[in-house]
A and B are shown apart, each in its own frame.
Chain A
Amino acid sequence: EVQLLESGGGFVQPGGSLRLSCAASGFTFSSYAMNWVRQAPGKGLEWVSSISGRDDSTYYADSVKGRFTISRDDSKNTLYLQMNSLRAEDTAVYYCAQDILLRPGGNSFFDYWGQGTLVTVSS
């Protein structure tokens, strides 16, 4: 059974940093691209970032480019999101999601999702 368990969320002041983790199990982690998707309170889904399996190519939404860094440790079956220079508008539940493919692309879709971790950015 595929399981994705996010952690690391919490309360942080504007300008601060936070690192989210997503522990994966039930599948061959290194063989799949992984993604972060967020949802601000009462709002819709927003794709944040993706990382390929094997070659670790990375992709970012314009809203987080230069502030967030996605990474993965295949030896630990864990996905990360390092978030720096946080803003109030980054407040959201952050989900990790498994892509069906090794590399994100036109045939991709998100097969499994975690339960999410809440990040609150406020002074």
Chain B
Amino acid sequence: SYELTQPPSVSVPPGQTASITCSGDKLGDKYVSWYQQRPGQSPVLVIYQDTKRPSGIPERFSGSNSGNTATLTITGTQALDEADYYCQAWDSSLFVFGTGTKVTVL
């Protein structure tokens, strides 16, 4: 079955850039979505189809996808960006979520 692997945690000082990777076989051939989940809350879509931002999502969130790796980048990270982040893709008529990355702003 298809797997998406993310680093368990990423730490970033306030105002700096956080990069969260998502790795999977030939992932660049698929569309990737990214979801933010704050503690105790439901997931929120922050990036879809690799690079697009839904309305209401700040411009500091951006995405890319090439080769075997998709990346979510948070530029000028703020304290309220502290959350778990999950990538997602579709493979063989199944949805797959990444293992998740906890972003800590310190």
Residues of A whose CB lies within 8 Å of any CB of B are 35, 37, 44-47, 50, 59, 61-62, 95, 97, 100, 104-111, 113-116
Q: Assess whether B49 is in contact with A59, with CB atoms less than 8 Å apart.
A: no
Complex: A62 Cα to B95 Cα, angstroms: 11
Q: Which residue of B lies closest to A49 (CB)?
A: B95
Q: How far is the CB of B40 from chain A (nearest CB, A)?
A: 10
Complex: A35 Cα to B90 Cα, angstroms: 13
Q: Assess whether B33 is in contact with A62, with CB atoms less than 8 Å apart.
A: no
Interface SS of chain B: helix, strand, loop or mixed? strand
Q: Given A110-B45, A113-B42, A44 and B90 touching (CB < 8 A)?
A: no
Q: Among A35, A61, A95, point to the contact of B42 (Cβ < 8 A).
A: A95
Q: Assess whether B49 is in contact with A109, with CB atoms less than 8 Å apart.
A: yes
Chain B residues near A59 (CB-CB < 8 A) = 93-95
Q: Assess whether B44 is in contact with A113, with CB atoms less than 8 Å apart.
A: yes
**B71-91, CB < 8 A from A:** 84, 86, 88, 90
Q: Bin chain B's interface residue count.
A: 20 to 34
Q: Assess whether B45 is in contact with A47, with CB atoms less than 8 Å apart.
A: no
Is residue B51 contacting chain A, with contact meaning CB distance below 8 A? no
Is residue B104 contacting chain A, with contact meaning CB distance below 8 A? no
Q: Assess whether B45 is in contact with A109, with CB atoms less than 8 Å apart.
A: yes
Chain A residues near B33 (CB-CB < 8 A) = 109-110
Chain A residues near B31 (CB-CB < 8 A) = 106-107, 109
Q: Assess whether A45 is in contact with B49, with CB atoms less than 8 Å apart.
A: no
Is residue B99 contacting chain A, with contact meaning CB distance below 8 A? yes
Complex: A109 Cα to B88 Cα, angstroms: 8
Chain B residues near A35 (CB-CB < 8 A) = 95
Q: How far is the CB of B93 from chain A (nearest CB, A)?
A: 6
Q: Given A45-B43, A50-B95, A95-B42, A105 and B86 touching (CB < 8 A)?
A: no
Q: Assess whether A46 is in contact with B97, with CB atoms less than 8 Å apart.
A: yes
Q: How far is the CB of B72 from chain A (nearest CB, A)?
A: 14
Q: Assess whether B42 is in contact with A114, with CB atoms less than 8 Å apart.
A: yes
Chain A residues near B88 (CB-CB < 8 A) = 45, 47, 109-110
Q: How far is the CB of B10 from chain A (nearest CB, A)?
A: 15
Complex: A110 Cα to B97 Cα, angstroms: 12
